[in-house]
Amino acid sequence: MKTLTLSEKELPFDLDLTFSCGQIFGWKKSGNIWKGVHNGRIITIRQDNRTIRYSGCDKKVLYHFLGLKDNIPEIYQSICTHIAKFTHEKQDLFFLERFLLSKGIRILRQDPWECLFSFICSSNSNVRTIGKRIGLLMENYGTCCSIGENLFPEPLAMGAIDEESLRKCLTGYRAPYLMGTAEYIITHPDFFLKISSLSYPDAKKELMILPGVGPKVADCVLLFGFERMEAVPVDIRIRKIITAQYQDIIPGEKGTKTLSYDTIADFCRSYFGPYAGYAQQYLFATRDVRQELSV
């Protein structure tokens, strides 16, 4: 295995938190080693404090994938500055607590197709089931890499599967979404290049053309696959947190019965600033962490 030693500016970094916080699926942990697919390669990674040991890719690829160029203290400072501007108060203790529990998380830079495929599979499921579903799809339809090791199914492979077979991999009603999206990607080979070139709102609109991609999945793909840190995926957990903790300070929304998706996402962007995607991930992750810590 190759070695990468994290410098001071690359801290904090927590491999376990980063891979178990619901932003990536299909990666498995055995002992201290995480193994999974990134950009068409099987990669293994382990962390011992500041030392990252890895195989399957070069340092540049790993560094980019793990988001190690992100300066977390600066990102936190940016978020705090925006919170202070919004509230005219020194600190948001609720957010500070969440940040302290999950500050080792990095927003990964996933391959766009692998990320899109994963989040179409994610709808209305829990993290464990999503992982199982993606594992089955990889096992049955992924490109064989070596004995017992498969990559993600390519769009061409997905397009060739009949719906009934696809449904057997726990995809349920998502099967036609996967097939339709694969078909679109096959017939529009420059699709991801186009997404990269568009502004956040236009990229989101374009992604939502795809079957099985609504506002939530589009935001996940933009955040985890296209480095759009202003993307704020609003799932049931984020909705509950924002409603319980922040609804009263959202202009015009005090007492509103149900906050719309855009109201929540737009609030997060104006409250947390350009790194709202990171802030969202700190909020999303901490419930599980707190349970593990029995807090």
Residues in contact with DNA by CB under 7 A are 21-23, 119, 122-130, 132, 167, 170, 172-173, 177, 208, 210-218, 220, 233-238, 257-258, 260, 280-281, 284
> What helix, strand, coil percent values describe the chain, rounded to 5?
60, 10, 30
Q: Which residue has the tokens 């001071």?
A: 8
Burial of 146 (0-12, 13-18, 19+ CB in 10 A): exposed
Q: Which is nearer to DNA, 73 or 214 (CB)?
A: 214
Q: How far apart are CA 117 and CA 76, in angstroms?
A: 30
Q: How far is the CB of 173 from DNA (least distance, A)?
A: 4
Q: Which is nearer to DNA, 4 or 17 (CB)?
A: 17
Q: How far apart are CA 180 and CA 155, in angstroms?
A: 10
Collapsed DSSP state (helix, strand, coil) of residue 2: strand
Q: How far is the CB of 128 from DNA (least distance, A)?
A: 5
Q: Which is nearer to DNA, 80 or 234 (CB)?
A: 234
Is 216 catalytic? The answer is yes
Q: How far is the CB of 50 from DNA (least distance, A)?
A: 25
Q: How far apart are CA 46 and CA 52, in angstroms?
A: 6
Q: How far is the CB of 209 from DNA (least distance, A)?
A: 9
| Secondary structure element (H or E) that encloses residue 59, with its range | helix 59-65
Q: How far apart are CA 107 and CA 19, in angstroms?
A: 10
Q: Which is nearer to DNA, 38 or 56 (CB)?
A: 38
Q: Which is nearer to DNA, 4 or 232 (CB)?
A: 232
Q: How far is the CB of 126 from DNA (least distance, A)?
A: 4
E runs forming strands in the chain: 2-5, 28-30, 33-38, 41-48, 51-55, 144-146, 149-150
Of 103, 216, 240, 257, which is the active-site residue? 216
- Annotated catalytic residues are 216
